Structure 1
Amino acid sequence: MATTSSSFFRRGVVSLCIKEPEKPLYGGGIISSDKSKSSTPIKGCALEVDLKKDHHYALSGDQHLTSWLKFSKGTGDITAVIVTPDGKFTNAGAIVAQSECWTLLKGGATSLCEGKGDLFFQTNSTGAIMAESIALQGFSFDEWNAHRDEKKVKITVESGGKPLPDAELSVEWVAKGFPLGNAMTKEILDIPEYEEWFTRRFKWATMENEMKWVTKGYEAADRMLALAQRHNISVRGHSVFWDDQSHQMGWVSKLGEVELRAAVAKHLESVVSRYAGKVIHWDVVNENLHFSFFEDKLGKDASAEIFKEVAKLDSKPILFMNEFNTIEQAGDLAPVPTKYLAKLRQIQSYPGNKGLKYGIAKFFIHFDKPNIPYMRGSLDTLAAAKVPIWLTEVDVAKGPKQVEYLEEVMREGFGHPGVKGIMMWAAWHAKGCYVMCLTDNNFKNLPVGDVVDRLLEEWRKVPEKPRTDGKGVFEAELFHGEYRVTVKHESLKEPIVQTVDLDSKSEAKLTC
């Protein structure tokens, strides 16, 4: 029986490496306690499990976290694999483990049919995998959805210093709120219909390519930023550098260390100074877990040095690491959450970088078929860094379930307490979008565009005829943002109207 407590999935700080593993909750879920502890190597050993139809299975727990692993010797990668009754193999999660301590693996998989399944662990390391406190907990789709965190807000109304019970409220959403934005292209500058369609929906934007080093000049980026400012749209700076060798300009690839260091400094000064104070974020170095162009040329601390220099020129924006496959592909071992956190901590520990504003972003979330339990488990692990998480390049490949998958991914992101914003990677192009278009060439919504509109409307919806309770409190699930609140009560001579900030915080007090 699945627990009804949403705390089953996460809470507390996740330690990447501890001396003694915690015990599993609920007796290990569908894995009995005698099978969940192994004092002998577990590589090659499959744990048989009974799986139900249309259930998500999570390798996770509360503060007593589960699936602790280590090696008998050395260090290496470990991947958990779940085989569902239909014979499909799903990579359920992956970590970097070592022999000196236990590391938590979180993740999971989905079963669409009933029957026997298997859970096993694999590695390319020569060390034996040791496991303790394995727990695999099942949830029906409805139960899983019910465990998503609600974005609740609380408004307290007082009159004369005392609570004002049973007051009639009118709550009108004004602006901003939980960031849900989209990428845009320079085509928006010359097509009024594109501008109208985009700005009517989104208050956050990312330029697809116009700020990148490979783009010649800043004319398009300047004009796009001006357009965004006219419409009160916040812009993410994307990106200062890209660590992929294949995306360097030819002349850059040929530079020696001294010349490259000078070119990097010149470009960094140019782009960051130009847009300092005008962007809310900087994607500092793209994909520096998969790739290492700058580290190979300038040393292992190249990314950390770049972060430091960006912060000197523009101290207010949040500075992000950017990666793909961190939450969508457990089979890609380069960017698994434990490696992501290790890289972030390396950057943070570099001299002078301790006090910088950091964020975890991108996850190049180009989903084919999302593994929602793995997505949640990965976000739980990343949240241990205690910095804002943004999903900044969300799209879903075309297919019969594209609409369903997109909505599921967006709800999972919105419902996670560590996620502070979602950006679609669905910039419109006349000749076709990168992976997913929200609109056709006449700027009429496609089905995935309707999903976005429906979620925006749902997340901004206010309950009908809201009233304060006996303690003068109104509490509801609302899209965060600024609200204009009108208070009516028999004790008031006239209605009181105030604007409250429920964007940066979830509670507000009104005084009549």
Structure 2
Amino acid sequence: MTRITVFALFLLFSLNLTAQSIDQSIDQHRKGQLIIEASPGAEVSVKQLSHEFWFGAAIANGLGSGNMSPDDLQEYKAHFLKNFNSAVTENALKWANMEPEKGKVNHQTVEGILQWTEENNIPLRGHNLFWGIDKFVQPWVKELSDAELESTIKERAISIARRYRGRFVEYDLNNEMIHGNYYEDRLGPDITAKMVQWVLQGDPDAKLYLNDYDILTGNRLEDYLAQIRGLLSQDVPLAGIGVQGHLHGSTFDRQALKASLDSLAQFGLPIRITEFNMPGQRSKFYTDTDLKMSPEEEQENAAELVDYYRICFAHPAVEGILMWGFWEGVNWIPASSLYTRDWQAKPAAKAYQELIFDTWWTETTGSTDAEGKFSIPAFYGDYQVTVDGKSQELSHRKARGETRIEFPRP
């Protein structure tokens, strides 16, 4: 056991985040009774097919644009499907990416990503409709008058929502507003509420999330809480809270992560960890993207990833974690990838897969009792249940807590 792993375990214990307490919370919040009713003594097989919880990743533009080599594209798609059940557009939907020049809107990349995710039943987040950090606002947008700017924002909000109605599961509305909000600076504090109204005009069922960084470190938590309170006081219909998971270094503050999630949970809104990397943006691997990990660092990194996922999965308000890149070929922090440039699995990939598809996976066999019942605590997700050779599929959902399925008795 490495020195860092020992220290990580010490932190978990000292902060009352013991392995046992985390496992207990996971059992409490991520499992519900799956009850099969059939003939007494029937042979039962229960196989989990997928998780309800989002274990996802960002999709690079190359998948939708055709700018990835055929071999890498084939590997990228196969490894995505092997590891993830949900996705987010990394850059394709960003306004500056779609419309770098006024009036020249590129929908091809977005459409390509949507076509593939829909073919594979992968729910997709739209990141993002707006991004008010000054350096990410196109020059042509800055040249607009205030009236033109507002009408142009309105046109984008309505047109994107209308065009992709029912296809994106949710959107990040206006990215990283506590760090910069060009649109509010120009148009006033009610522009965010107007953005929401315009999106909903295009798609009344659209779900809109906030998304920001340095929250789970605790550094900007209070600012984010204040912003959320302010928007809710304006009756802005927020669907959820997005928090980025890459502002740590090669390790992370367990207490800050847990405390931040607890604080955000007060609003009763679902939380998604929207952009996760390990190591993160405050590591040497972000400063020098050519830097390679030693074998010891690879093992330590895998352990850090597992701890982060365990704490988030154990929290009842969290509904998903999405990696911000999983392959060195298209990852802004290459060292945080699950796979090397030539598609070799790193220790982090093996640790991730063991956690998601083994430790947090329900698959068992048995027999119904004298009353014809077979009951197990099962992770929420989709299942195939087989009784005496006859199979049914079902969805086991957290909202219900308990799921029953009946097989005909002779």
Normalised TM-score (structure 2): 0.80
Aligned residue in 2 for 1:139: 16
Alignment deviations for residues 95-139 of structure 1 (CA, whole Å, 9 cap, x no partner): xxxxxxxxxxxxxxx499xxxxxxxxxxxxxxxxxxxxxxxx853
Aligned residue in 2 for 1:92: none
Secondary structure in 1 matching 2:33: strand
1:191-202 aligned at under 5 Å gives the runs: 191-202=73-84
Q: 1 CA distance for matches of 2:230 and 2:356?
A: 37
For 1:361, which of 242, 258, 261 is the aligned residue?
242
Q: 1 CA distance for matches of 2:368 and 2:317?
A: 29
The answer (yes or no) to whether the contact 1:176–1:503 under 8 Å persists in 2 is no
Q: Which amino acid aligns with 2:204?
A: S
Alignment deviations for residues 259-297 of structure 1 (CA, whole Å, 9 cap, x no partner): 211221122223222211101111111111121211111
The answer (yes or no) to whether the contact 2:46–2:365 under 8 Å persists in 1 is no
Find out whether 1:511 has 2:406 as its counterpart.
Answer: yes
Aligned residue in 2 for 1:498: 392
The answer (yes or no) to whether the contact 1:280–1:316 under 8 Å persists in 2 is no
The 1:324–1:257 alpha-carbon spacing in structure 2 relative to 1, beyond 3 Å, is same
The answer (yes or no) to whether the contact 1:177–1:481 under 8 Å persists in 2 is yes
Deviation at 1:165, TM superposition (A): 6.6
Q: Which amino acid aligns with 1:348?
A: L
For 2:254, which of 357, 372, 381 is the aligned residue?
372
The 1:251–1:138 alpha-carbon spacing in structure 2 relative to 1, beyond 3 Å, is closer
Find out whether 1:476 has 2:377 as its counterpart.
Answer: yes
222-231 vs 181-190, which moves further: 181-190
Aligned residue in 2 for 1:293: 182
The answer (yes or no) to whether the contact 1:301–1:347 under 8 Å persists in 2 is no
Gaps of 5+ in 1: 1-52, 58-109, 113-136, 489-494
1:81-480 aligned at under 5 Å gives the runs: 110=11, 138-139=15-16, 141-150=18-27, 151-158=30-37, 168-188=43-63, 189=66, 190=68, 191-216=73-98, 217-327=106-216, 329-330=217-218, 332=219, 335-336=220-221, 338-350=222-234, 353=236, 356=237, 358-368=239-249, 369-397=251-279, 398=285, 400=297, 401-428=300-327, 430=329, 433-434=332-333, 436-459=336-359, 461-467=361-367, 472=373, 474-478=375-379, 480=380
Deviation at 1:196, TM superposition (A): 1.7
Secondary structure in 2 matching 1:362: strand
Deviation at 1:468, TM superposition (A): 5.3
RMSD in angstroms over aligned alpha carbons?
2.7
The answer (yes or no) to whether the contact 1:148–1:412 under 8 Å persists in 2 is no
Greater fraction of residues in strand: 1
Q: Which amino acid aligns with 1:442?
A: D
Q: 2 CA distance for matches of 1:294 and 1:477?
A: 46
Q: 1 CA distance for matches of 2:32 and 2:170?
A: 25
Q: Which amino acid aligns with 1:170?
A: S
Secondary structure in 1 matching 2:91: coil
Alignment deviations for residues 325-382 of structure 1 (CA, whole Å, 9 cap, x no partner): 111x22x2xx31x43233223223325x4xx351011324343121112111111111
Deviation at 1:429, TM superposition (A): 5.7
The 1:55–1:444 alpha-carbon spacing in structure 2 relative to 1, beyond 3 Å, is closer
Deviation at 1:247, TM superposition (A): 0.9
Alignment deviations for residues 225-283 of structure 1 (CA, whole Å, 9 cap, x no partner): 11111222111011000121111111222333212112211222232222111011111
The answer (yes or no) to whether the contact 2:339–2:346 under 8 Å persists in 1 is yes
Q: Which amino acid aligns with 1:511?
A: E
Alignment deviations for residues 407-426 of structure 1 (CA, whole Å, 9 cap, x no partner): 11111111111111111111
The 1:213–1:367 alpha-carbon spacing in structure 2 relative to 1, beyond 3 Å, is same
Q: 2 CA distance for matches of 1:419 and 1:510?
A: 28
Secondary structure in 1 matching 2:209: strand
Aligned residue in 1 for 2:102: none
Q: 2 CA distance for matches of 1:304 and 1:266?
A: 15
Q: 2 CA distance for matches of 1:407 and 1:111?
A: 13
The answer (yes or no) to whether the contact 2:94–2:127 under 8 Å persists in 1 is yes
Q: Percent identity?
A: 24
Relative contact order higher in (CA < 8 Å, ≥ 6 apart):
2
Q: Which of 1 and 2 has greater Rg? A: 1
Aligned length: 365
